[in-house]
Amino acid sequence: MSELNYRFRDPALAQLALTHRSVGKPNNERLEFLGDALLGAIVAEMLYEVHPKASEGELSRLRAQLVNGQALAVMARELALGDGLKLGPGELKSGGFRRDSILADAFEATVAAVYLDGGFEACRETVRGLFVERIAALRRSSKDAKTRLQEWLQAKGLALPQYELIASHGEDHAKTFDVSCSVTEPLAFTAEARGGNRRAAEQDAAEAVLNRLLEQQRGA
């Protein structure tokens, strides 16, 4: 696994990470479970550092873009994990080494194998090295919903959206906020959303309005 930039002290762990359940036991299912948790925590830490003003919802959406099955399968292919997969006869015959779900599972299992072989810091360093450029690219390309809605309206010479705090609920330490986002052109539409802070609620309301406008545009 030279592409991984990690040298295993116990090669058997690396081999186990690439052993699909179709082979029988032992296989990589337990490693996959552990790797999923490790990936989620390390990528969450990176996003928390890179996006200091992002809401919980925004951070969750960004993490989902980075660690979903398709994205992990892409990374597995870049690391050539498919070349080392051990599959049962059925999966081998049906081309399982190309399947996204199998590749994504192998990637997660490999992360766990690094953790068990070298400890958390080695695992953290390896994962951060794999994701740093992806997170930087995501940061350059991602704009929040309010910005995207404003830019869409401005590009068409339309009036900007209006946000209004409708109500707040709960004790001071656990308030939720109801917010509306309204546009008057090209159709009058208002969306409401609730969030743990006003900014998060505004973002979700803006997302709903933008989706409605884009749906109308596609149907026009």
* Active-site residue (options: 58, 91, 108, 144): 108
- Strand ranges across the sheet with 176-183: 162-169, 176-183, 189-195
The answer to whether 32 is a known ligand-binding residue is yes
The answer to whether 151 is a known ligand-binding residue is no
Look at the alpha carbons of 65, 117, 1, 5 in this order and tell me if their dihedral is positive or negative: positive
C-alpha span between 10 and 123 (Å, rounded)? 14
The reply to whether 36 belongs to the active site is yes
Burial of 220 (0-12, 13-18, 19+ CB in 10 A): exposed
The answer to whether 108 is a known ligand-binding residue is yes
C-alpha span between 122 and 116 (Å, rounded)? 10
The residue among 158, 157, 199 whose CA lies nearest residue 175 is 199
DSSP state of 19: B
* Active-site residue (options: 3, 10, 29, 36): 36
Residue 187: left (phi > 0), alpha (psi -120 to 50), or beta?
beta
Residue 138, helix vs strand vs coil: helix
The residue among 24, 44, 19, 28 whose CA lies nearest residue 112 is 28
Which residue positions form the known binding site?
A: 32, 105, 108
- Residues in binding site for Mg(2+): 32, 105, 108
- Tell me the catalytic residues: 36, 108
